[in-house]
Amino acid sequence: MSGAAAVAGLAGAVAAVALVELAALTAGRRRRSSRAVAVGLLARLGRRVGAPAAPRDLAARLAAAGRPLGLRVGDVMAIKGGAAVLGLALTLPLGALLPGRLPLVVPFVLPLGGFVAPDLWLRRRARARGREMEAELPDLLDLLRVALGAGLPLERAVGDVADRATGLLAREWRTVAVEIGLGMPRERALVALAERCPTPGVGVLVRTLERAARHGAPLGEALAAQAREARSTRARRLDEQAARAAPKIQLVVALLLVQSVLLLVGAALLASFAG
């Protein structure tokens, strides 16, 4: 009976995980709104206690993360300060629950973790945006090469390609076209594009466009070569991810599936002996 109970418990755990995932999919909008409320409360707390000075690269990191929730540099520093204060306030109740000398470490770990957590969040968002843009880049480069080959100027070609495509990178290209149309210098708009797009391919594209504008070099072959390189780079990265996933799958099989089969066999043997 103990083996059958263990199997039932494992099945219940799997069902609970599935229900959590389903709830996360159906309540995405509610979660985003609650996240905005929590971030706003942390920012308000940080402003009351006094937000620290922002590092020089925070604006670039915030742009690479897509400015989530419309945050500015001052907002991020206020959130960092508020999270540190919240971590300090939680040290007493959490420290009372920990054994040994761990309560002596909590007053240092929790405030530091709260202060660093927004930076880790921005880095994670920037990496996710970079991966998505990396997947879109080769097709957009091919479309841009065709548009330029048809005789369109660069500003109009970028805008037309962005209007006919979807995705994060296409939206950023559309922003560039709008900024240039409103009078922003092309060099400044391209530099801002590279800051908002945390993938190396966009930086290479910006340098290629600047070099072509400065020296009059043709863009067709350069864009085609970059599109081929972007596709090969993405293929290599997918192969590396698949290679890293194989040991993880084997570990899951060894720790869960094999144990589950053994539990089922044990439960069957116990039932046969009991009968």
User: For position 21, what pLDDT does the model report?
Assistant: 45
Is residue 197 within 8 Å of 172, Cβ to Cβ? Answer: yes
Is residue 150 within 8 Å of 117, Cβ to Cβ? Answer: no
pLDDT band per the 50, 70, 90 thresholds, residue 30: low
Kindly report the number of other CB atoms within 10 A of residue 65's CB atom. 21
Q: What percent of the chain has pLDDT over 90?
A: 27
Tokens of 251: 């570990």
pTM given for the model: 0.71
pLDDT above 70 (res 17): no
User: For position 265, what pLDDT does the model report?
Assistant: 73
Is residue 87 within 8 Å of 114, Cβ to Cβ? Answer: yes
CA within 13 Å, CB half, 266: 13
Q: Where are the beta strands (DSSP E) in 157-218?
A: none
Mean pLDDT of the region 19-25: 42
Q: Which value, to the nearest 10 degrees, does the dihedral of the CA atoms of residues 83, 84, 89, 93 take?
A: 90
Backbone CA torsion sign across 244, 248, 251, 253: negative
pLDDT digits (tens, 9 = 90+) for 95-135: 676 777 777 777 788 888 889 999 999 999 999 999 999 99
Q: Which value, to the nearest 10 degrees, does the dihedral of the CA atoms of residues 117, 121, 123, 126 take?
A: -170
Rounded to the nearest integer, the mean pLDDT of the chain is 80
> Where is mean pLDDT largest: 4-13, 216-225, 245-254?
216-225
